[in-house]
Structure formats: C-alpha cells, structure tokens
Structure 1
Amino acid sequence: MTDFERKVYRIIFSMTRFGKNPSMEQLKRKTGKDEQTIRAAVKSLMRGRMLKWDKEKEKWMF
C-alpha cells in the first residue's frame, strides 16, 4: 500500500465510522489530488481487498 492509498483508506475509514460516506469532492479537498488519482487509489485498495463496497447497504466494508 502506497502512502497515498493509506491516506485515502484512513479518510474513508474515519468518515465511515461516523456514519458518513465521503463524496469525491470531500476526498479531493482532503487529499489535494484529482479525481483520476483518487479513483486509481480506491481501485487498487479494492483489488487488494482492503476495501469493499456493499451495494445493498451502500457503504464501505473493511
């Protein structure tokens, strides 16, 4: 896991614990990166089975 992937993971993890799913705009603001870079990091985390999107509950699973 790269430093940026770790940062995205921690943001999603922290916000999800308070019952919120971070939007792309929130992730852009908190990381200072563009949408393409954030999406690549999230895809990498999902491929590595660090993150999983639960479609029924509409929330992230860890």
Structure 2
Amino acid sequence: MTDLERKIYRIIYNMSRFRKNPTIQDLKIKTGKDEPTIRKAVKNLITRKDLEWDKEKNEWKFK
C-alpha cells in the first residue's frame, strides 16, 4: 500500500465512522492530489480488497 493509498484509506475509514462518506472534493482537499490520482488510488484499494463498497447500505466495508 502506498503512502497515498494509506492516507486515503484512513480518511475514508475515519469519516465513515461518523456516517459521512467523503466526496472526491473532500479527498482532494485532505490529500492535496488531483481527481485522477485519487480515483486510481481508490481503485487500487478496491482491487486489492482493502476497501469494498456496500451498495445496499451505501457505505464502505474495510478489510
């Protein structure tokens, strides 16, 4: 897991604990990265099964 992936994972995890799913804009502000970079990092987390989106509950599941 890269530093950016770890940072995004922690942001999503911490915000999800308070029942708020972070938006791309939230992640852009908190990481200082652009949208394509963030999308790639999130896609890598999902591909490695570190992160999963639960469509029924509209929330993230964590490894």
- For this structure pair, what is the TM-score category when the shorter chain's length is used for normalisation? over 0.9
| Structure 2: runs of 5+ lacking an equivalent | none
> One-letter code of the match for 1:10?
R
2: distance between equivalents of 1:56 and 1:39?
22
After TM superposition, the score normalised by the length of structure 1 is 0.97
Q: Which residue of 2 aligns with 1:52?
A: 52
| SS at 1:22 equivalent | coil
1: distance between equivalents of 2:19 and 2:59?
9
| Structure 1: runs of 5+ lacking an equivalent | none
Deviation at 1:27, TM superposition (A): 0.4
| SS at 1:13 equivalent | helix
Q: Which residue of 1 aligns with 2:21?
A: 21
Question: Where do 4+ consecutive residues of structure 1 move more than 2 Å?
Answer: none
> Number of residues paired by the alignment?
62
| SS at 2:60 equivalent | strand
| SS at 2:14 equivalent | helix
After TM superposition, the score normalised by the length of structure 2 is 0.96
Q: 1:33-48 alignment to 2 at 5 Å?
A: 33-48=33-48
